[in-house]
Structure 1
Amino acid sequence: MLNYRHLHYFWSVAKCGGITRASERLHLTPQTLSGQLGQFEQQLGRPLFRRVGRRMELTETGELALSYAEEMFQVGAELEEMLSRRPEQRRLPFRVGIADAVPKTIAHRLLSPALSLPEPVRLLCRADRLDRLLAELAIHRLDMVLADRPLPANMDVKGYSHPLGQCGVAFLAAPNLAAQLSGSFPAKLDGAPLLLPGEDSALRTPLLRWLERQKVRPRIVGEFDDSALMKAFGHSGRGIFPAPAARAREVERQYGTITLGQTDDVQERFFAISVERLLTHPAVVAVSEGARRGLLGDEANDGEAAPCSE
């Protein structure tokens, strides 16, 4: 069985960068701490540190152990903090991963119902690539992942995709750029500078195919994994950019842009990915129910969650 006192000693040494500093923090002699660390490595059967000159560096096993230790002590600190508060002061942790491709205006709209629950919620958001977020979901470091696609079938993760909604795509541009374009939509996109979502976005390929069907060939001047960064470049007049049609007016107000046109032939879809087939976390349930009420400006798809990986 894992010795949690030894784990704490290891974590302290890793965080402090050496035995001397960690021993001062723990009020132990360096000899005692070194001995305890040696016992822990002997129990695991693998070294956690290697000596590089006077420094101690984590081995591959040490890096793995540290990642788990960080999570365990963080959860422990949260538990201690929660239990120390009066019942009316306690907040339910809600850990959400937001894929980079999901527009932040959509994420904000979808997550808002979770903050209106009778039970206070502490929202913890992390934005990253979808594959990294799914890896954290698999080991229960996240309660839910917001994505623009269902859980990929080739991912070695057991989970379920819960449809939240879909909408068409609008094309927006800064006023100075819009004034330079002539003709009707979508013909005015031909030859114009275009900002595209990155390869991790589910929207990218359908968007390019739609442009090809329209016989429109814009100049692709930028590609972005982060949708907010793409809009920031669009705001500066660097190019036209796509955004969910349901939130086009909101994007106009936030970034001072103009909608050139929109299409329903290309649909942006949004999903809540969880390890649960039937949602039980109150905040996740609130997000799903809020989406069903049409928070995206388009009614969410009804139906049972689609299993993505067994």
Structure 2
Amino acid sequence: MLNYHHLRYFWVVAHEGSVSRAAKRLRVTQPTVSGQLRELQDQLGEELFRRAGRGLELTELGKSTLVIADEIFALGEQLLETVRGNRVGRPLRLAVGLSDAVPKHVAYQILEGAVAARIQIACHEDTPSRLLADLASHTLDVVISDAPSHAPTAHDHLLGEVGVAVWGVRRLAHELRAGFPRSLDGAPFLMPLSGTGLRRELDAWFVDHGIKPRIVAELEDAALLARFAAAGAGLYADPDLEGDRPRGMVRAGSIKSMRVRYYAITVERRLAHPAIALVAGAEKLFGKRRASRQATGSVRGSRPRAAS
């Protein structure tokens, strides 16, 4: 088993750049630091440092070891901060990863429950794959996404589902409202990138109904997609909810057979405190019975398919 006392000595030497400076910081003798390093290198079977003038530089193994050590000791500091915070009544902290495919007005309402519970939120937006990597390394506590992860090390907690509508500027929406949805054939359309839950539903729905819109752009970020639509570039699909959309956007029509789902993804089998606070926001957004029932356990299963 790895001796974390040895690892801490290595970590300090790596950041200080020399044994002498590390010894001063640790308040021990230089031979003590050198001995701890030697024992760690003997256990790993390779050198972690090489001489560079009067100092030391990391070997390739040393660089890899430092990355892992940084994560380990950062988690240790986070644990201490949590304990201290609980003692003095400071708010709990929740590190949230937000998929860039999730509309901002949906994300806000989901996160609102945690804010109301006086939980300090640190929200990071990125692609689902990168967020799941951060979740696996425990940099994040939870990921909010419009698609399940299906990752063997993660659990997908369904927060809720909602219908979908097609939105656009007033002129375009009113023009296509008559004859909807057949009027979408050949109409300018802004699409989310492939791989998102909504994109898969849209592709299937268009095929089922024999509709071929003119795709103007495929955009990863939901907020940017809405901005393009507000500029009159085309229509776009978004949850059929009252929300903070760009000014002047109106509904061209609703796709009643299509549902989009939102998930809280964690490494835990069940949502635990403080991530369970997200359920309060989901209850308000999607309806109390569905959110509270679905989100307390992990969900495994196929995605919903749009009805014909």
Query: What's the TM-score bracket when you normalise by the shorter of the two chains?
Result: 0.7 to 0.9
Distance in 2 (alpha carbons) for counterparts of 1:184 and 1:107: 32
Question: Which runs of 5 or more structure 2 residues have no equivalent in the other structure?
Answer: 302-308
**Contact 2:158 2:262 (8 Å CA) reproduced:** yes
Question: Match for 1:97: what amino acid?
Answer: G
Q: Deviations over 1:38-90 (max 9, x none)?
A: 645555334557899x996773x445434333333433444555566683442
Matched, 1:250 2:253: no
Q: 1:263 to 1:37 in 2, by over 3 A?
A: farther
> What number of residue pairs does the alignment pair up?
289
Quote the residue 1:151 is aligned against.
Answer: 149
CA distance in 2, matches of 1:289, 1:244: 19
Structure 1 residue 295 corresponds to structure 2 residue 285: yes
| Greater shift in the superposed pair: 202-211 or 254-263 | 254-263
Q: Which residue of 2 aligns with 1:269?
A: 261
With normalisation by structure 1, the TM-score equals: 0.75
Is structure 2 residue 15 aligned with structure 1 residue 12?
yes
> CA distance change for structure 1 residues 65 and 102 in 2, over 3 Å: closer, same or farther?
farther
- 1:16-31 matches, cutoff 5 A: 19=17
TM-score (norm 2): 0.76
Deviates most, 195-204 or 141-150: 141-150
1:16 alignment counterpart: none
Q: Tell whether the 8 Å contact from 1:194 to 1:220 is kept in structure 2 after alignment.
A: yes
Distance 1:220 1:90 in 2: 49
Q: Is residue 2:228 matched to residue 1:216?
A: no
Partners in 2 of 1:278 and 1:251 — Cα distance?
A: 31
Asked whether the 8 Å contact 1:9–1:37 carries over to 2, the reply is no
| Residue identity opposite 1:239 in structure 2 | G
Aligned residues of 2:11 and 2:66 also touching (Cα < 8 A): no
Shift of 1:287: 1.6
2:191 to 196, 202, 226: 196
- Cα separation, 2, equivalents of 1:49 and 1:232: 52
SS in 1 for 2:113: helix
Mapping for residues 113-192 of structure 1, pairs under 5 Å? 113-117=113-117, 120-152=118-150, 155-157=151-153, 159-175=154-170, 177-178=172-173, 181=176, 183-192=178-187
Kindly state the Cα deviation for residue 149 of structure 1 after the two structures are TM-superposed. Answer: 2.4
Shift of 1:243: 0.8
Q: Does 1:283 align with 2:274?
A: yes
The amino acid of 2:96's aligned partner reads V
Tell me the CA shift for residue 202 of structure 1: 1.4
| Structure 1 residues 188-239: Cα deviation after superposition (integer angstroms, max 9, x where no partner) | 3222221111122012122122123333211112112222222222222222
| 1:147 Cα deviation from its structure 2 partner | 1.9
Deviation at 1:167, TM superposition (A): 0.8
**1:227 — aligned with what?**
222
Query: Which deviates more from structure 2 when the two are superposed, residues 42-51 or residues 221-230?
Result: 42-51
Offset at residue 240 of structure 1 (A): 1.4
The farther-off stretch of 164-173 and 213-222 is 213-222
Conserved in 1, the CA contact under 8 Å of 2:176 and 2:252?
A: no
TM alignment of 1:65-76, pairs within 5 A: 65-76=65-76
Q: Aligned letter for 1:128? A: D
User: For 1:283 and 1:268, how far apart are their aligned partners in 2?
Assistant: 25
Percent of residue pairs identical: 32
Structure 2 letter corresponding to 1:295: L
Are the equivalent residues in 1 in contact too, given 2:113–2:279 (CA < 8 A)? Answer: no
For 1:170 and 1:23, locate their aligned partners in 2 and report how far apart those are by CA, in whole Å: 66
